[in-house]
Amino acid sequence: MPDRRGVLELSLDGRRLNAREGQTVLQVAREHGVPIPTLCFLEGLSTWGSCRICMVEVGPQRVLRPACATPVVEDMEIRTESPRLRAHRRMILEMLFAEGNHVCAVCVANEHCELQSAAAQAGMDHVRLEYAAPQRTVDATHDRYVFDPNRCILCTRCVRVCDEVEGAHVWDIAGRGESAHLIADMNVSWGQAGSCTDCGKCVTVCPTGALFVRGTSTGEVRRAPDVVVRLTTARREHQWLPAGEGQ
């Protein structure tokens, strides 16, 4: 008989499925080909759970829970699609567009932007909220890269990859609420950030056009966020060490 230790049974959109102890709702859904939109989540980085676009309904009461941060339990009942969830996700996307300056037609990430793709998948063709139109200065002081805070959605991918993978911790979030913003080092321009190693990992994982290579034009940004899980897996498996070392 197969070893059933650590195996859970749950319901996902009406289907009875098996999952493993310690998995999250998002991991189980992706394993079974069920799409759940995400923005702040990135495999290989710690879970942040801030964007709330991955919310699902859990239990008979249909309580909203973030799929990326909710561990599965025995007999869990999960719904990933409903009119309520679609309305919730669309409202979050509209808020993200309204609180920044996201003009897709002139963005370096146009047609290669996760925020834009999520909006298209949600059927969002306009924003019903009043635009905040904040006055945010572009930081082009770095020799190789540019930071455009007008496109930043505070997903903290750059913060986490810089801290957890590169080990430099250049980026952080300062302020609260509508005043929250991304800063380099102790709130200096990126070009003055002495801790920056110029590795470009933050640029690679950015889901929008907030971080990009200097000289990039409209629609030219290409991302490779899967590099994070490749790096973390390689380090865990000691793939850059000679055979027998590091065991």
User: Rounded mean pLDDT of 184-205?
Assistant: 97
Amino acid at site 122: A
Give per-residue pLDDT as tens, 168-190.
999 999 999 989 999 999 999 99
How many angstroms from the chain centroid is the CA of residue 76? 25
| pLDDT tier for residue 247 given thresholds of 50, 70 and 90 | very low
List of residues 6+ apart from 21 with CB closer than 8 A: 6, 7, 8
Angstrom distance (rounded) from CA 208 to CA 156: 12
pLDDT band at 241 (very low <50, low <70, confident <90, very high): low
What pLDDT is recorded for position 236? Answer: 86
The answer to whether 98 and 90 are in contact (CB under 8 A) is: no
This prediction has a pTM of 0.91
pLDDT band (50, 70, 90) for residue 242: low
Domains of the chain (ranges, CATH numbers): 7-81 (3.10.20.740), 86-236 (3.30.70.20)
Distance CA(209)–CA(196), nearest Å, equals 20
Question: What is the total residue count of the chain?
Answer: 247
Q: Which two tokens stand for residue 76?
A: 């869990």
pLDDT at 202 over 80: yes
pLDDT at 148: 98
The tens digit of pLDDT for each residue in 116-151 reads 999 999 999 999 999 999 999 999 999 999 999 999
CB–CB of 57/48 below 8 Å?
A: no
